[in-house]
């Protein structure tokens, strides 16, 4: 017969099973380790990085703003003065408090301008409708709602207006319709509009005070650091490409391939973020190293040049896949030096923006680009005289050299943009 094992189960007086006794100290340690594992895993979690900490700070700031604006309801003396209109202050905080200070200021001013214009015109329309009286009152309101609603909606579709003042136009439509329509039933429409505007201003003031003065999160700083990181990523991508293209270590090849391709692709998707941050940064007051007239528009042009460089680097990999090892060896040494010079130039330009110092365009960048052009021409000439176009490997090398020349031209354009940024932004002279 097969042997069987009997496990004793302890039961209390009410018939509830108790935990089994430990057969040894090692079993007890294992069970204790099992129960403590979730706690230990929580304690071993990585600390929050800077971006996560900013999210926490923003969340706390919004919570504090909501508490302050809720005092209009909670405190009796304040509630007697504003009444049910206190909800407009709460709505204002919820709607306009954004992550970046510039976004909060932009939304707040848009809301304020839209409210004032919409409320003012709505009061005039309601007053005119009441003066007409009778059936004509409803006709006047209907015509006014159609004209201003259609006109404001058409204005929202204009690109420049949509980019900067779309929210203000939306609030104008909403406020105008609420005021002019409610004016048909309310005898004191001016007082109603005034009270609502006052509570909106209260909510706006609380948002601006907390957003700008309590651990402010600037869109300008985010844009500046984001641009610098892209220079560094491009330089690393070129260095990674050089390892993949000119080294025979398969492990390094695969690793560098994954790294530089991912970085370049992330740079290609940065346009929408740049446009949004530039729009917010233009609303922000003087802070840190950035003045009122700082040329944020230059960041868009520089970002566009960086995306073009990322496309060229990704295209270089296609040329690498088409080239044979024999042709690689024939141009390996010269092209390796060219790629290293291009990576150095990108690092130098990024360091110039990071330190906010002039990039020494005439002293260093121009001579470096001239020497790179000479090196590229030296690579081209032997192939231009030969018959390398007769096979696909030769076409790959020709495309590779053409892309290097194109990268040199794009870097010269980028260097000029960085130089102009330094002049307009008041960068200091590099010591």
DSSP letters for 87-139? HHHHHHHHHH--SSHHHHHHHHHHHHHHHHHHHHHHHHHHHHHHHH-THHHHH
CA distance 336 to 376: 11
Residue 380: what pLDDT? 60
CB 302 within 8 A of CB 418: yes
Per-residue pLDDT band at 394 (split at 50, 70, 90): low
pLDDT of residue 6: 46
Reported as a pLDDT band with limits 50, 70 and 90, residue 56 is very high
Q: What is the DSSP string of 44-72?
A: TSPPP-HHHHHHHHHHHHHHHHHHHHHHH
- Domain boundaries, given as residue ranges, for the chain: 50-213, 219-425
- Assess whether pLDDT exceeds 60 at residue 54: yes
Residue pair 71/78 in contact by the 8 Å Cβ criterion: yes
120 vs 9: which has the higher pLDDT: 120
Q: Among the listed ranges 83-97, 162-176, 190-204, 255-269, which one has the minimum average pLDDT value?
A: 255-269
* 400-407: average pLDDT: 82
Over 70: is that where the pLDDT of 138 sits? yes
* CA torsion angle 115 118 121 127 (round to 10): -80
Looking at the predicted structure, is the pLDDT value of residue 196 above 60?
yes
What class has domain 219-425? mainly alpha
Residue 400 vs residue 295, higher pLDDT: 295
Average pLDDT over residues 163-179: 89
First to last CA, the chain: 93
The answer to whether residues 323 and 388 touch, using CB atoms and an 8 Å cutoff, is no
Phi first, then psi: what are they for 174, rounded to 5°?
Answer: -65, -50
pTM, rounded to two decimals: 0.77
Which helix or strand (DSSP H or E) is residue 253 part of?
Answer: helix 250-268
- The backbone torsions φ and ψ at residue 11, rounded to the nearest 5 degrees and listed phi first, read -125, 135
Q: Rounded mean pLDDT of 282-305?
A: 89
- Which pair of tokens denotes residue 201? 């201003």
């Amino acid at each position: 017969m097969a042997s069987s094992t009997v496990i004793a189960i302890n039961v209390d007086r009410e018939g509830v099973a108790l935990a089994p006794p430990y057969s040894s100290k090692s079993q007890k340690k294992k069970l204790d380790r099992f129960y403590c594992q979730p706690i230990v895993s929580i304690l071993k979690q990585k600390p929050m990085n800077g971006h996560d900490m900013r999210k926490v700070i923003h969340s706390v700031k919004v919570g504090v703003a909501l508490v302050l604006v809720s005092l209009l309801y909670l405190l009796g003396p304040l509630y007697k003065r504003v009444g049910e209109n206190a909800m407009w202050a709460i709505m204002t905080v919820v709607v306009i408090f954004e992550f970046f200070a510039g976004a909060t200021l932009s939304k707040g001013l848009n809301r304020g301008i839209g409210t004032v214009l919409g409320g003012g015109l709505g009061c005039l329309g309601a007053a005119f409708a009441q003066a007409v009286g009778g059936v004509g009152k409803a006709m006047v309101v209907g015509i006014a709602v159609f004209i201003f609603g259609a006109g404001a909606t058409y204005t929202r579709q204009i690109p420049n207006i949509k980019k900067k003042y779309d929210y203000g136009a939306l609030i104008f439509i909403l406020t105008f319709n609420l005021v002019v329509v409610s004016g048909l039933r309310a005898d004191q429409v001016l007082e109603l509009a005034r009270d609502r505007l006052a509570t909106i201003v209260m909510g706006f003031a609380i948002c601006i005070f907390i957003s700008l003065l309590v651990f402010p999160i600037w869109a300008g700083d985010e844009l500046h650091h984001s641009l610098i990181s892209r220079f560094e990523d491009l330089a690393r991508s070129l260095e990674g490409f050089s390892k993949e293209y000119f080294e025979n270590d398969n492990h390094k090849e695969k690793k560098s391939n994954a790294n530089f391709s991912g970085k370049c692709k992330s740079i290609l998707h940065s346009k929408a973020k740049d446009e949004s941050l530039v729009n917010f940064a233009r609303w922000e007051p003087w802070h840190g190293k950035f003045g009122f007239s700082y040329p944020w528009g230059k960041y868009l042009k520089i970002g566009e040049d960086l995306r073009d460089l990322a496309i060229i680097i990704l295209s270089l990999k296609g040329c690498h896949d088409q080239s044979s090892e024999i042709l690689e060896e024939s141009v390996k040494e010269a092209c390796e030096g060219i790629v290293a010079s291009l990576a150095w130039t990108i690092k130098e330009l990024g360091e110039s923006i990071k330190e906010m110092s002039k990039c020494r365009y005439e002293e260093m960048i121009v001579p470096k680009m001239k020497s790179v052009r000479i090196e590229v021409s030296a690579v081209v000439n032997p192939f231009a005289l030969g018959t390398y176009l007769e096979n696909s490997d030769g076409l790959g090398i020709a495309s590779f050299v053409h892309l290097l020349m194109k990268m040199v031209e794009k870097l010269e354009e980028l260097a000029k943009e960085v130089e102009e940024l330094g002049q307009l932004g008041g960068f200091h002279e590099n010591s």
